[in-house]
Structure 1
Amino acid sequence: MEPVSFGVLGASSFALAHTARAIHEAEGARLAALATSSPAKAEPFRAFAPDLRVHESYDALLADPAIEAVYIPLPNHLHVEWTLKALEAGKHVLCEKPIAMRADQIDALIEARDRTGLFASEAYMIVHHPQWQLVRRLLDEGAIGAVRHVDTVQTFDVGADADNIRNRAETGGGSVPDVGVYTYGSVRFAARAEPVELTSRIRRENGVEVWAHAMGTMAGATGEFTFASTTSTRLPDRQEAVFQGEDGMIRVTVPCNAGVVGEAQVHLVRGDVTLVERFPSARQYVLQVQNMVATVRTGAPYPWSLEDARGNQAMIDMVLANEV
C-alpha cells in the first residue's frame, strides 16, 4: 500500500515536537513537505526528515500534486479558512483543535468534506489512546453503574510568555478553546454524553480568558449526571478526570498529555478494590496518524468526526455564553 504523503502548513513548535514527528514515524505515512517562509525553521524538521521539500507559502504546498494530505497546526483563528482551502485543493485534512471558533463554522467544513469525498477531521488525539478507549468501554459495560458525577481539570502556566498564541485574543487564545476541548470532549466521548445546562465563572487578562470553571448537568447513556471542569493557563500543571458512579469510580491520570507530563493510567475503584491499568508506551499522536491513513486507504472507521468536533465546540460555546 502506497504511503500517504503529508505536508505540514507552518513550522510550529507543536508540529515539530509532536505531530510532524508522528507522521514521519507512523506506518503508512510519509512526511514529504513543509510550508514555511523561514529556511531556519525548516532545519529542525529536516533533522529527522532529510528529504523534506520546503515550500515558501501555504498555497504553494497545497498546489503540490505529490501531497495527498495536510496537517494544519496554525493558530486557532486560521483553522477553518485553511481547512476549506486544503479540501478545495483536493487534500485530505487533519487540523489542530479547536478546528473552529464557533460550532456553526464547522457546518461549512462538513459540507466541503461531503462534497469532495475527502477525509477531514480535528486532531483530537486522546480518542486514539487506549486509555480513553478503555474508559469508554468500562462505562459502556457498567463497571461503575450509572454515572452520577464527573469532574475534570487541566491547567498549565504560560503567563510569562506574552507572545504565546494562548495569551492573544486575536488568535483565539484562552484556556477554554485550548484545553476545554479536552476536559469537555473527553466526557462527551467516554460517557457518550451531551450537556443539558451549563454555567461558568471566568477570569480574564487583557481580553483573554485565563481561568474558567464550568459546572452543570450532562446526560449520557445511564441518565443525567453533574459535571464540573476547571481549565487555566495561569496555574501549575495538573490533569485529571474522575467519573463517579453508583457502584464505583474511574480516575484517569494524565488524560491529555499522556507520556509528556506523566504516565497514562486508569484506576477502577469498587469498594476496597482498586484495579490499575497503565499505558507507559502508547503513542497517541502516532496512533492518530495511523488511524487516519487506514481511513483514507481502506475506509476504516475513524473515532472522531467533524460532527464530534461540532459537538465539542457547541459545548465550548455554551460555557462561554453562560458566564455568571
Structure 2
Amino acid sequence: MKSVKWGILGAAKFAREHMARAIHAAEGAEFYALATSSSEKAADFQAFNPNLVIHDSYDALLADPEVEAVYVPLPNHLHVEWTLKALAAGKHVLCEKPMAMKEADFDAIIAARDASGLLAAEAYMIVHHPQFTRAKELLASGVIGDLMLVDTVFSFNNAEDTNNIRNKPETGGGALGDIGVYAFGSARFVTGEEPVSIRNAHIVRENGVDVFTQVMAEFPSFAYQGTVSMRMANRQHITFHGTAGHITLTAPFNAGVYDIAELILEAPATERHVERWPTVNQYVLQVENFGKTIRTGAAYPCPLEFSRGTQAMTDMVLAAE
C-alpha cells in the first residue's frame, strides 16, 4: 500500500511530542511536510526527520501537491476554518479535538467532506486503542449485567501556565473542550447510547474559561457522572458499573503517558480479570487507521457524526449550567 504523505499545520508542542512522531512511525504514512515560519521550531521536527519539507505558511503547505493528508493541531478556535481550507485544497484532514466549538459548526465540515469525497475526522485517538474496543465487547457480552452507572474523571493542573491556550477564552480554552470530549465521548462510544438529559452541571470558571465541571446526566439505560478539571491533580479513570460487576479502565485517555493501559473486570461470575497493553501507541494506530480508510475505503472508527454527538452533549451541559 502506497504511503500517505502527511503535512502538519503549525509546530505545536503536542504535534512535536506526539502526533508528528506517530505519523513518522506509522505504517503506511510519511511525515512529509511542516508549515512554520520558525526555523527554531522546525529544527525540533527535523531532529527526527531530517528530510522534512518546511513551508513558511499554512497556505503554502496546502498548495503543495505532494501533501495528501493534513493534521491540524492549531488552537481550538481555528479548527473549523483550517479544516475547511484543507478540504477545499483537496487534502484529507485529521483535526485536533474539539474539532468545533458547537454542534452546528459540524454542518459545514460534514457538507465539505461529502462534497469532496475526502476523509475528514477529529483526532479522537482513544477509540483506536484496544482497551476501548475490549470494554465495548465486554459490556455487550452481559458479563457485568445491566449497566447502571458510568463514572468518569479526567483532571490535570495547569494553573501556573497562564500562557497556555487552554487558559485563554480567545483561543477556545477550557476543560470541557479540551478533555470533556474524552469523558463524554468514551461513555458514548462504549455504550452506543446518547444522553437524554443533563440533571446537573456545576461549572467553575476563571478568567472566562471553565476550569472545573461536574456533570450528572441520564442516558436511556444508565446514569452518568463525570468530572473534568484543569485545576486538580492528574487523574484518569472510567468505571462501567453494572448489576453483576464492573469494568474499570485505569489509564483511559493518555494511555502510555499517564500510565500503562489496564482494564480490570470484576464480577462474581468470573475471577478478577486484568488485561494490560504496555506497548500500544494509540496515536500511531489512529494514523494507520486513517491511512487504511484513505487507501482501502475501510470504515473509520471515529467519523464526524460521532464527534458531532460528543459536541452535542457538551452543548447540553453548557445549556444546563
Q: TM-score, normalized by length of structure 2? A: 0.98
- Is the partner of 1:194 in helix, strand or coil? coil
Q: C-alpha separation between the residues in 2 aligned to 1:165 and 1:190? A: 30
Structure 2 residue aligned with 1:249: 246
- Is the partner of 1:265 in helix, strand or coil? strand
Of 192-201 and 89-98, deviating more is 192-201
1:206 alignment partner AA: N
Match of 2:234 among 233, 237, 258: 237
User: 2:210 matched to 1:209?
Assistant: yes
2:207 alignment partner AA: N
Q: C-alpha separation between the residues in 2 aligned to 1:135 and 1:322? A: 29
Match of 2:282 among 274, 279, 284: 284
Q: C-alpha separation between the residues in 2 aligned to 1:231 and 1:293? A: 32
- Is the partner of 2:137 in helix, strand or coil? helix
Q: C-alpha separation between the residues in 1 aligned to 2:242 and 2:114? A: 39
Structure 2 residue aligned with 1:305: 303
Q: C-alpha separation between the residues in 2 aligned to 1:213 and 1:45? A: 38
Structure 2 residue aligned with 1:19: 19
- Deviations 1:121-165, CA, capped at 9 Å, x for gaps: 000000000011100111111121211011100000000000001
Q: How does 1:74-93 map to 2 (within 5 A)?
A: 74-93=74-93
Q: C-alpha separation between the residues in 1 aligned to 2:121 and 2:85? A: 14
Structure 1 residue aligned with 2:224: 227
Structure 2 residue aligned with 1:159: 159
Unmatched 5+ stretches in structure 2: none
- Deviations 1:155-207, CA, capped at 9 Å, x for gaps: 00000000001100011111111101000000000011110111300111111
Q: Could you tell me the percent identity over the aligned residues?
A: 56
Q: C-alpha separation between the residues in 2 aligned to 1:148 and 1:138? A: 15
Q: C-alpha separation between the residues in 1 aligned to 2:252 and 2:98? A: 17
Structure 2 residue aligned with 1:261: 258
- Is the partner of 2:113 in helix, strand or coil? helix
Unmatched 5+ stretches in structure 1: none
- Deviations 1:57-87, CA, capped at 9 Å, x for gaps: 1000000001000000000010000000000
2:208 alignment partner AA: G
Deviation at 1:274, TM superposition (A): 1.2
Q: TM-score, normalized by length of structure 1? A: 0.97
Structure 2 residue aligned with 1:142: 142
